[in-house]
């Protein structure tokens, strides 16, 4: 008999970033999940949001998802498809898929543990290592700070780097792109990310000015839901167009691909709902000869990248990994090194996802919010702030 899900617990970790992403994003939020089954199995997963809605994601997991999945077969694809049908009324993507990732990742963790292997091993490792590119949320940096960051990327062995653009004046963007190109030299790849700050007319002007610096791609210059504008942009752009961190479903990725509105898709594994939909999206892209560049979360996206048929490059935002933020209970399952002169990511063979988050009772005085079979959460405990080894005040909460 296949194992059945018996329970789900959640807890929220809020951690300040070592390098602020600006006034709107000084911290990240991780919603940790623990799933149990009737055969004694336990799977650990998480959801994540840098800014909006951590309490909403947590509430959706506790009050709607946990009661619904109780009794379902502990199969990640079966559970994901059932949850998609159940939650679609609340929105076809966004908070719903972000919350679903917490369950999906826990189920894949459990499945790999039971198979005695890592998630990478379970899905089939195709690469010993993959390339890493340096990235930073740096639009608020001064020109001097940006140049210093670019120098650190070069020293780290990154063969490709990505910077933010979208200053009030296009000449400022041009000055910054030119300065980074000068630091990294002509042979390294340079990508720029506008984070939906531009309209179509400004994007075309920017391409005229910035295109001379040899850009590998232009990322998300327009609102992520403006399919018509992206179709027109890609038709006339001399620079490849990348998007996807704010696209949440395979259906919307299909729309962009079929409309020939994108060159590179960038699914965020959590935002699309976990490993299950991520794999489907990657196969869709591969069938249409579209490149994939996973968005953020190298502890997770790096492991998945090692299983993909086509080699991809993993994004590493400076000093923003879970290990660097001090919220893992042990070492990271991935390692980034430049022993060959170029930065590469490899992974360990630790079972499951290969990591758990700090804050359990044996390590830090966090209080988990349990969801019993009735689906009614236990009373919330207090929010607790605990300094980590770097002096950050990390908040652990079940409220």
Residue 45 in 3-state DSSP?
A: strand
CB atoms within 10 A of CB 280: 17
Which residues belong to the active site?
A: 164, 295
Per DSSP, the chain holds a count of helices (H) and strands (E) of: 13, 16
Question: In 3D, which of 91, 87, 14 has the Cα closest to residue 51?
Answer: 14
- Measured CA to CA, the distance from residue 128 to residue 305 in angstroms comes to 10
Rounded to whole angstroms, the maximal C-alpha distance in the chain is 65
- DSSP structural state of residue 61: I
Please report, to the nearest 10 degrees, the dihedral formed by the alpha carbons of residues 268, 334, 139, 293 taken in order. Answer: -40
The two three-digit tokens of residue 83, written as one number = 């949850």
Round to whole Å and give the CA distance between 163 and 180. Answer: 9
Q: What are phi and psi of 4, to 5 degrees?
A: -115, 150
CA–CA dist 103, 150 (Å, integer): 37
Q: Determine the Cα–Cα distance for residues 399 and 395; give it in Å rounded to an integer.
A: 11
- Work out the angle at residue 70's Cα, subtended by the Cα atoms of residues 69 and 72, and round it to the nearest 5 degrees: 65
Distance set, CA 252 to CA 26, 80, 225, 276 (Å)? 30, 17, 9, 16
Separation between Cα atoms, residue 174 and residue 183, nearest integer Å = 14
Helix pair angle (143-155, 170-184), 10° resolution: 30
CA gap 208, 132 in Å, rounded: 28
Residues 6+ apart with CB under 8 A from 376: none
Handedness of CA 98, 103, 105, 106 (dihedral sign): positive
Residue 21 sits at φ, ψ, to 5 deg, of -90, 20
């Amino acid at each position: 008999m296949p194992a059945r899900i018996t329970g789900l617990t959640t807890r929220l970790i809020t951690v300040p970033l070592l390098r602020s992403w600006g006034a709107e994003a000084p911290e990240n939020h991780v919603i940790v999940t623990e799933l149990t089954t009737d055969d004694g199995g336990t799977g650990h997963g998480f959801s994540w949001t840098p800014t909006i809605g951590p309490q909403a994601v947590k509430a959706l997991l506790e009050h709607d998802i946990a009661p619904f999945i109780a009794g379902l077969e502990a199969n990640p694809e079966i559970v994901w498809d059932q949850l998609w049908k159940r939650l679609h009324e609340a929105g076809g993507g966004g908070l719903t898929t972000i919350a679903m990732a917490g369950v999906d990742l826990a189920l894949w963790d459990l499945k790999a543990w039971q198979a005695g292997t890592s998630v990478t091993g379970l899905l089939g490792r195709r690469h010993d290592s993959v390339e890493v590119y340096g990235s930073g949320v740096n639009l608020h940096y001064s020109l001097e700070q940006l140049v210093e960051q670019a120098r650190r990327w070069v020293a780290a062995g990154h063969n490709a780097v990505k910077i933010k653009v979208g200053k009030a004046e296009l000449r400022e963007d041009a000055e910054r792109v030119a300065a980074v190109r000068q630091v990294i030299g002509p042979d390294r790849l340079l990508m720029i990310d506008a984070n939906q700050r531009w309209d179509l007319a400004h994007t075309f002007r920017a391409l005229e000015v910035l295109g001379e610096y040899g850009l590998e791609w232009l990322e998300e210059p327009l609102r992520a839901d403006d399919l018509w504008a992206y179709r027109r942009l890609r038709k006339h752009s001399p620079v490849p167009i990348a998007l996807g961190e704010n696209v949440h479903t395979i259906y919307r990725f299909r729309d962009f691909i079929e409309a020939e509105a994108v060159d590179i898709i960038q699914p965020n594994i959590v935002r699309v709902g976990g490993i299950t939909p991520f794999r489907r999206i990657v196969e869709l892209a591969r069938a249409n000869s579209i490149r994939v560049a996973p968005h953020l979360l190298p502890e997770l996206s790096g492991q998945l990248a090692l299983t993909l048929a086509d080699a991809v490059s993993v994004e590493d935002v400076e000093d923003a990994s879970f290990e660097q933020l001090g919220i893992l209970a042990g070492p990271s399952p991935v390692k980034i090194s430049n022993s060959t002169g170029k930065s590469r990511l490899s992974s360990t063979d630790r079972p499951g996802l290969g990591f758990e988050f700090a804050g359990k009772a044996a390590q830090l005085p966090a209080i988990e919010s349990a969801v019993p079979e009735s689906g009614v959460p236990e009373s919330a405990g207090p929010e607790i702030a605990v300094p980590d080894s770097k002096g950050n005040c990390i908040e652990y909460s079940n409220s």
